[in-house]
Structure formats: C-alpha cells, structure tokens
C-alpha cells in the first residue's frame, strides 16, 4: 500500500474541510478500509485496499450541503445523480492531486464500469458535471463540451 498516496489524499480532504479520522476498522464496510460514521470519513490504512476509494467517498460528501454531510452514516446514499457527481468530483480531485485516475477508477469498483468511465474521461465525455455545476463547484460549460468551463478545474471543493 502506498502510504504517501494515502497521506496526500487525507491531507487534501482535511484541507478542504472534511473530517477524516484514522483508526482501526474491525467490521465489514462497503469499501475495505473506509467507513462513514456520522459525517466523518474513517480510514484504516491496514485494511484500505484502494486509496482512490477515499476520493470517491469524499466526492459523496462534497456534492451535498453540510447538513446532509453530517447525516451520512454507513452508507452515503443511493441517489444516482449524486453518484455521478461524486464520480466527476473524484476525477477532478485525482487530477488536482496528480493521481492517475485509474487509481480511483480501479477494476474492483464501479460494478465493472471503471474502464468505461476512464474511456469517457479520456474522451472528455465527463459524467456528473451538471451536478458539480448545480452545486456551484464548477462553472457551467458554454458549449456541449465541459472543458469550455474549465472542468476538471474546480471553483471550490465543497458544496456550501
């Protein structure tokens, strides 16, 4: 496991205002080594299988208002739109941190669709950008191409 990568991600998440706690996780979780506990991301370095999962889970926190964030416990929700927003957010965060998107969109996740997501990102066919725009995290494209708004560059990282 790349300890420096995990540290980089955790420091970024804390810097943008998310609460991240490191401690042992002994029960099964949705993502190995990551737990969501009353609005807090809990990370267990010893059981974290994919550091990029931290960015994806953080994306769920980022695309909702603070009061909703505080309510997250165990699961970050089943809303498909917010899932797309978390995907777009985590892609932008990976690039911002200089992390290869394949570390976030790995083959063990996304119900077998990680490759398709990476292909779409490579072709500038970004999913979830309307959610980021709606939440004020990224500017709206001026054409059908999200790059016209500067995406994946973000205006801010958390929904106010």
Nearest C-alpha neighbor of 85 from the set 50, 31, 137, 125: 137
The mean pLDDT value of the chain amounts to 93
For 61-97, write each residue's pLDDT tens digit.
999 999 999 999 998 878 888 999 999 999 999 999 9
Task: Assess contact for 102 and 124: CB atoms under 8 A.
Answer: no
Per-residue confidence (pLDDT) for residue 147, from 0 to 100: 75
pLDDT digits (tens, 9 = 90+) for 25-46: 999 998 999 999 999 999 999 9
Residue whose C-alpha is closest to residue 132's, from 101, 86, 77: 86
**What is the predicted pLDDT for the residue at 136?**
96
pLDDT of residue 90: 98
Whether 90 and 76 have beta carbons less than 8 Å apart is answered as no
- Cα separation, 105 vs 88, in Å, equals 11
pLDDT at 1 (0 to 100) = 60
pLDDT digits (tens, 9 = 90+) for 86-145: 999 999 999 999 999 999 999 998 988 999 999 999 988 888 999 999 999 998 877 777
The whole-number pLDDT of residue 58 equals 98
Q: How far apart are CA 137 and CA 143, in angstroms?
A: 18
DSSP codes joined into one string, 91-144? HHHHHHHT--HHHHS-TTSGGGTHHHHHHHHHTT--SSHHHHHHTTSSPPPSSS
Give the Cα separation of 158 and 114 in Å (integer): 24
Query: Where is pLDDT greater, at 148 or 66?
Result: 66
* Phi, psi of 53, rounded to the nearest 5 degrees: -60, -30
């Amino acid at each position: 496991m790349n300890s420096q990568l995990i540290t980089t991600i955790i420091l970024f998440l804390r810097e943008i205002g998310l609460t991240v706690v490191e401690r042992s996780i002994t029960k099964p979780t949705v993502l190995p080594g990551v737990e969501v506990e009353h609005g807090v991301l809990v990370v267990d370095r010893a059981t974290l299988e994919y550091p990029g999962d931290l960015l994806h889970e953080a994306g769920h926190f980022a695309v909702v208002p603070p009061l909703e964030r505080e309510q997250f416990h165990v699961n970050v929700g089943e809303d498909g739109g917010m899932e797309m927003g978390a995907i777009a957010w985590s892609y932008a965060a990976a690039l911002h941190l200089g992390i290869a998107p394949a570390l976030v969109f790995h083959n063990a996740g996304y119900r077998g669709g990680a490759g398709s997501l990476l292909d779409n990102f490579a072709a500038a066919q970004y999913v979830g950008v309307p959610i980021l725009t709606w939440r004020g995290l990224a500017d709206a494209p001026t054409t059908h191409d999200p790059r016209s708004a500067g995406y994946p560059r973000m205006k801010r990282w958390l929904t106010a």
